[in-house]
């Protein structure tokens, strides 16, 4: 019949396992508890979830320059557009570099990593291109007049 361990004994063995950096064989030799039992305890042990430390959110004042800048204008300065264009050119160079490396890497390197990085770079390139296209298109204003009486509306 298998031996039953108390909660205190189990806790001591698990603490010893942590001290041994997860070495089940060493812990088993030191405590006399079978390896299989330690494996089961370790597998069923609730692992504490690491808490992600986020910086506190500080509310912005309504008079802050970033708030005023966002509220007025189209939001992207000409310097930002130039930076986006430069970024777009560098990304295109990286895409070509990765694409050229794929045939050589098929035999030696993990192909999935190259294909993943190529697809990520292509996706980012398309997003930057779309952002630049939006900034280059002139904005068109549409003004409509509506009359209170539908009979007063002109027929176009």
User: Taken in order 96, 98, 101, 107, is the CA torsion positive or negative?
Assistant: negative
Whether 132 and 81 have beta carbons less than 8 Å apart is answered as: yes
The alpha helices in the chain, defined as continuous H runs, are 7-19, 24-31, 35-44, 65-71, 78-108, 111-136
C-alpha to C-alpha distance for 113 and 115, rounded to whole angstroms: 5
Sequence length of the chain is: 156
- Position 119 scores a pLDDT of 85
Q: H or E stretch including 155?
A: none
Whether 27 and 20 have beta carbons less than 8 Å apart is answered as: yes
- Position 74 scores a pLDDT of 53
Give the pTM.
0.32
**pLDDT tens sequence across 49-75:** 444 444 555 555 544 444 334 433 456
Tell me the average confidence (pLDDT) per consecutive run of 10 residues in the chain, 156 residues long.
85 87 88 90 65 51 44 62 83 78 66 79 83 72 74 72
- Position 150 scores a pLDDT of 74
Q: How many CA atoms lie within 13 A of 73 on its CB side?
A: 10
């Amino acid at each position: 019949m298998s031996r039953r361990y108390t909660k205190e004994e189990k806790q001591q063995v698990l603490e010893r396992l942590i001290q041994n950096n997860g070495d089940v064989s060493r812990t088993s030799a030191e405590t006399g508890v079978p390896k299989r039992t330690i494996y089961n305890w370790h597998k069923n042990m609730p692992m504490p979830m690491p808490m992600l430390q986020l910086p506190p959110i500080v509310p912005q004042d309504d008079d802050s320059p970033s708030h005023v800048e966002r509220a007025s204008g189209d939001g992207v300065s000409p310097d930002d557009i130039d930076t986006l264009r430069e970024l777009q050119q560098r990304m295109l160079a990286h895409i070509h570099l990765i694409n050229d490396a794929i045939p050589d890497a098929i035999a030696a390197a993990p192909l999935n990593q190259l294909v993943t990085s190529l697809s990520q770079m292509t996706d980012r390139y398309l997003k930057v291109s779309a952002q630049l296209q939006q900034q280059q298109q002139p904005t068109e204003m549409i003004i409509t007049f509506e009359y209170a009486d539908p009979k007063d509306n002109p027929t176009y």
